[in-house]
């Protein structure tokens, strides 16, 4: 949960550890790719942090997660978020991170976006992906947030996220938060 004296920016992200796609195969991650990127951001700038945790955790098994995600997309679901959502009112800038699942952000990101008031804010999306780069994420966010500035953002290949600090630093400079 963010501190009582907020910084100018809030880092919000959802990530999933467990079995993940890795170079055409599967590998187990102790820390999800998006969380790895979020930690790099947190270590580079002064930012408050909020990790989106699913009330019903996603399975560790990759195929089971894919099936659940497809079902959530088909149902246009809004998976519940565990715990209290952050008060975004004091922040001007939101750094919003998600994995790209089936060309879009995980459906739980819609839950977050629809549950807080981001009007008048600047949202800088960042994603980790296996194949589809940004997919529809930026466009979906812009559609869902018509009163919010949604920037081009940063897409990081999941398999290389652990070496992405220079790319993240360049992005943070480009969006003027570093």
Q: Per-residue pLDDT tens, the chain, 178 aa: give them.
A: 444 444 689 999 999 999 998 888 999 999 999 999 999 999 999 999 999 999 999 999 999 999 999 999 999 999 999 999 999 999 999 999 999 999 999 999 999 999 999 999 999 999 999 999 999 999 999 999 999 999 999 999 999 999 999 999 999 999 999 8
- How many Cα atoms sit within 13 Å of 23 on the Cβ side? 5
Q: How many angstroms separate the most distant Cα atoms in the chain?
A: 44
- CA terminus-to-terminus distance, the chain: 22
The secondary element (H helix, E strand) that includes residue 114 is helix 108-115
Token look-up 């942090």 returns: 49
- pTM for the full predicted model: 0.94
Instruction: Please give the Cα distance from 19 to 137 (Å, whole number).
Output: 23
Quick count: other Cβ atoms within 10 Å of Cβ 87?
A: 14
Task: Assess if CATH 3.40.50.360 describes domain 9-174.
Answer: yes
């Amino acid at each position: 949960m963010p501190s009582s004296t907020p910084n100018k920016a809030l880092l919000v992200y959802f990530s999933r550890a467990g079995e993940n796609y890795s170079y055409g195969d599967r590998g187990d991650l102790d820390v999800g790719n998006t969380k790895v990127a979020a930690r790099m951001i947190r270590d580079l700038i002064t930012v408050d942090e909020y990790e989106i945790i699913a009330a019903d955790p996603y399975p560790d098994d990759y195929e089971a997660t894919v099936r659940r995600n497809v079902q959530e997309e088909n149902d246009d679901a809004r998976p519940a978020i565990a715990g209290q959502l952050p008060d975004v009112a004091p922040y001007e800038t939101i750094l919003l991170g998600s994995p790209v699942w089936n060309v879009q952000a995980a459906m739980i990101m819609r839950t977050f976006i629809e549950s807080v008031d981001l009007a008048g804010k600047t949202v800088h999306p960042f994603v980790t992906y296996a194949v589809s780069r940004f997919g529809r994420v930026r466009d979906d966010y812009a559609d869902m947030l018509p009163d919010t500035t949604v920037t081009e953002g940063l897409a990081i290949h999941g398999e290389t996220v652990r070496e992405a600090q220079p790319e993240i630093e360049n992005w943070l400079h480009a969006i003027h938060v570093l």
